[in-house]
Amino acid sequence: MQLQFDCLENPIAFDGCDELVDVLKNVLRGWGEGEIIPNTTGASQPLIRLRRGPAGYERTSPWLEGGRMVLADPVDAVCDLLLDIERAFIAASDKLLALHAAAVEFDGGLSVFPSTHQAGKSTLAVLLAAGGARVFADDVTPIDPTAGSIGVSPGLLPRLRLPLPDDLSPKSIDFINSHQGPKSESFLYVDMDKNALAPLGTRATVNRIILLERAPGVVAELMPASNSEILKHTIMQSIGHEVGALEMLDNLNAMVAGAECLRLRYGTSEDGARFLLERFNS
């Protein structure tokens, strides 16, 4: 099977692993059903290919170091596949940048949280959605710099790493459990409707960039951050860009200059989410 989405230039090939298509569609929002196309001469060649082998689901793509990845669990295989799909989406969309960052909409503007791997931004995004905010992204946020630093939703359910943090309250755990999407031993997708998760292509202006700083036991507070500090973090978290380095730097500098630059110190994800909701989600 080859699956073609309108926003991608090339199809995704599934060789003997059509069951992954159902998992994939369960985590996409606003992507449509995708067109199943025959593997015939003249058809676009897939850049991403998956096949089921004796060790699990094998993926090949130009974005993989070594070109190949094998994962045994179907949900884990789709989790990893989505990294390539986001790269393909950005490559097919002229001038888009990509930030390793969560992005959440408050009052029509986008707050972006650039952060490193396993920094808690996905949990924070889910808890903000539980409190009424709208999530654009929990891991990678595409940015359109040509229209004044606009965040573009990739239309993917937020994904939490398992086990869940020990400091979550029963209320938060109930919310997550009642919104379970596809799940493996390592990851859980949190199912959300369009009011809580912006579908693919939804756009909003970046008006805040907030660095996350967790410190056990502290009272949540927002502090000003310098433009140079924020610019440094956005450069470090810029991934998969299709523009030159100087153009990327100019675009990121313009985004930072047009946004409120802040640092959030907080003790737990719930403390941070509660503080932001009280401050911005009026």
pLDDT digits (tens, 9 = 90+) for 187-209: 999 999 999 999 999 999 999 99
Q: How far apart are CA 12 and CA 4, in angstroms?
A: 6
Q: Beta 48-53 vs 12-15: how paired, if at all?
A: parallel
The predicted structure's pLDDT at residue 243? 64
Contact 100, 139 (CB under 8 A): yes
Rounded Cα distance between 159 and 139, Å, is 8
Task: Provide the CATH topology of domain 97-280.
Answer: Rossmann fold (3.40.50)
Residue pair 99/237 in contact by the 8 Å Cβ criterion: yes
Which pLDDT score is estimated for 234? 93
Q: What's the whole-number average pLDDT of the chain? A: 91
Say if CB 119 and CB 212 are below 8 A apart: yes
pLDDT at 264: 95
Instruction: Please check whether residue 154 is in contact with residue 200, taking contact to mean a CB–CB distance below 8 angstroms.
Output: yes
Bridging pattern class, strands 134-137 and 97-106: antiparallel
pLDDT at 101: 95
| pLDDT at residue 108 tops 90 | no
Nearest to 79 by CA among 154, 14, 156, 165: 156
**CA–CA separation, 141 vs 143, rounded Å?**
6
| pTM beyond 0.85 | yes
Q: Express as a percent the part of the chain with pLDDT over 90.
A: 77
Does 241 score more than 70 pLDDT?
A: no
Domain ranges of the chain: 2-92, 97-280
Q: In which element (H, E) is residue 124 found?
A: helix 121-130
